[in-house]
A and B are shown apart, each in its own frame.
Chain A
């Protein structure tokens, strides 16, 4: 099932480990059938290694989001096995899911608060994370005072306070405009380089997938399974101009072809 069309190059973090690598997140033979009979996932197997940023693209309703819910433990797979350390897992949803009654700072603190991190420590981490995502000056604002893009930044920061080893992104920028999305993509790459987490990103957007990831997986229509695996050779950090690079366009084209091929 795996198809390699572009020569592999080492990503920044791969070079740090040598020999056998333990995956940060491992799916083995995951299938998912919902109680209503919907067959969402079929025999899905792949690994996400530390320092790897994997994006899954696929048609609507192919079970991409279910994959993340299984990884995080929100759902349990019908068959198969997931191996991951969930203690510091980051998870950004399609909606920002900020608590309306909390200020930005208190929202960002939430995950650390639920983990029982002492008040002073979590406040410090929250302010760091807020600065990292570029929300300084908005610490005391309520969610209703923020734009969609700023809410997503706050949502990113909320996961960052746990200093995640594994970071799941469930189509987080689907609802924001193109310009905001590109800026947020730059932000995610910056965070990825800084923290070196293992990233698993779900999206509809092929250019977003290629721009962000070190590997793009293509899923088939429901019941979803991985039909192609494209390593992305571009080195990090990735400048915005990369989007206009012929090699970028070519790879995007191949992913797109594969996506359409798997669809029909």
Chain B
């Protein structure tokens, strides 16, 4: 949760840089981004090591280190697959679970984006707002959600509301800080242009600060999207409603019953949901700013 200013927001686009034969006789190298074998081999090897470690823990590690029954507590990947996707009951439960978890995660994200971006704009426009609000943002970021579960429960009771709240709480900081950072880091030379023509605050915000903050804003979105999924799943573990079971609730159900394969399946499903969300936001970002944005670029 600490990786707030993730750099390198977007993959370099595959557009060829143009040759300028008029003024710059040196042709610029065409840049392409195709996957090289190395990029595939690395993850594949790591995955193999991961599976191997899994079996090591199952047959030996849990018994040796923790004196636990690994065969029962840590089912094999095949068992996990069969217990989750192979069983129609578990499968249907999780499909329903993905629906509810997504509603909370994306709903929470949408609310966070609206409130977070508005707050960042406000902070960028008035230094005193920034000075006043920032310490509390850091404090909010530092509060462990687990520590205030009781408080949240007291205020909201059960149901969906506290789950949204947990989501927003976790996702808020990266959105505000990244957006604020972007709004404040527009090029001083570009600011001078607007000063020359005596542009209003509003014009400067809309035509300069917001567009130049877009890469940072999307970085914030991507970080927070992943956090929202985590927040939704964590929230479900504490605030369950029988009629709206998310992935976290289903996992907890299997934990109580002591049925382990679909419990691990739930972990993987939650993880995949996070990855898909991350990719979707990466893709949206690329659609919006991919034409003009170069990661690691110098300001032009």
By a beta-carbon cutoff of 8 Å, the part of chain A in contact with chain B is 72-74, 86, 89, 91, 93-102, 110-111, 113-115, 134, 141-151, 153, 176-177, 179-180, 183-184
Cα–Cα, bound, A223→B269 (Å):
68
* Bound: A184/B24 CA distance, A: 12
Q: How far is the CA of A167 from the CA of B39 in the complex (A)?
A: 52
Given contacts A111-B197, A150-B20, contact A93 B212 (CB under 8 A): no
B294 contacts which chain A residues (CB < 8 A)? 144
Q: Which residues of B contact A (CB under 8 A)?
A: 15, 17-18, 20, 22-25, 28, 187, 189-190, 192-197, 199, 203, 207-208, 211-212, 214, 289, 291-294, 297, 299-300
B73 CB → nearest A CB, Å: 53
Q: Please, how many angstroms separate the alpha-carbon atoms of A153 and B24 in the complex?
A: 12
Whose C-beta in chain A lies nearest to the C-beta of B197? A114
- Other 6 A-B pairs with CB < 8 A, given A97-B299, A148-B24: A93-B192, A95-B300, A97-B192, A101-B289, A134-B22, A141-B18
Residues in A neighbouring B300, C-beta threshold 8 A: 95-98, 100, 143-144, 151
Known: A95-B299, A153-B23. A101 touches B214 (CB 8 A): yes
Residue of B nearest to A73 (CB): B196
Q: How many angstroms between the C-alpha atoms of A97 and B196 in the bound complex?
A: 13
12 contacts between A and B (CB under 8 A): A89-B196, A93-B192, A96-B300, A99-B208, A100-B299, A101-B292, A101-B293, A114-B203, A142-B292, A144-B292, A146-B18, A146-B20
**Residues of A with C-beta under 8 A to B196:** 72-74, 86, 89, 91
Contact (Cβ within 8 A) A99 B190: yes
Q: How far is the CB of B200 from chain A (nearest CB, A)?
A: 9
Instruction: Give Cα A99 to B299, complex, Å.
Output: 9
- Residue numbers in A under 8 Å from B20 (CB-CB): 146-147, 149-150
Residue of B nearest to A135 (CB): B22
Alpha-carbon distance between A115 and B197 when the two chains are bound, in angstroms: 7
Q: Tell me the minimal C-beta distance from A97 to chain B in angstroms.
A: 4
Tell whether A147 pairs with B23 under 8 Å between CB atoms, given A72-B196, A141-B18.
yes
Closest chain A residue to B214, Cβ basis: A101
Given A101-B214, A101-B289, A114-B203, A93–B189 Cβ distance below 8 Å? Answer: yes
> How far is it, in angstroms, between the C-alpha of A175 and the C-alpha of B211 when the chains are bound?
26
Chain B residue nearest to A154 in the complex (CB): B300
| CA–CA, A147 and B294, complex, Å | 15
CB distance B211 to A145 under 8 Å? no
Assembly CA distance A171 to B37 (angstroms): 47
Cβ B17 vs Cβ A150 within 8 A: no
Residue of B nearest to A116 (CB): B197
A109 to B1, CA, bound (A): 42
> How many angstroms between the C-alpha atoms of A143 and B187 in the bound complex?
14
**Minimum C-beta distance from A260 to chain B (A):** 31
Select one of B25, B187, B211, B297 contacting A144, CB under 8 A: B297
* Highest count of chain B CB atoms <10 Å: which of A102, A144, A150: A144
Residue in contact with A74 in the complex, picked from B192, B207, B289, B293, CB distance below 8 Å: B192
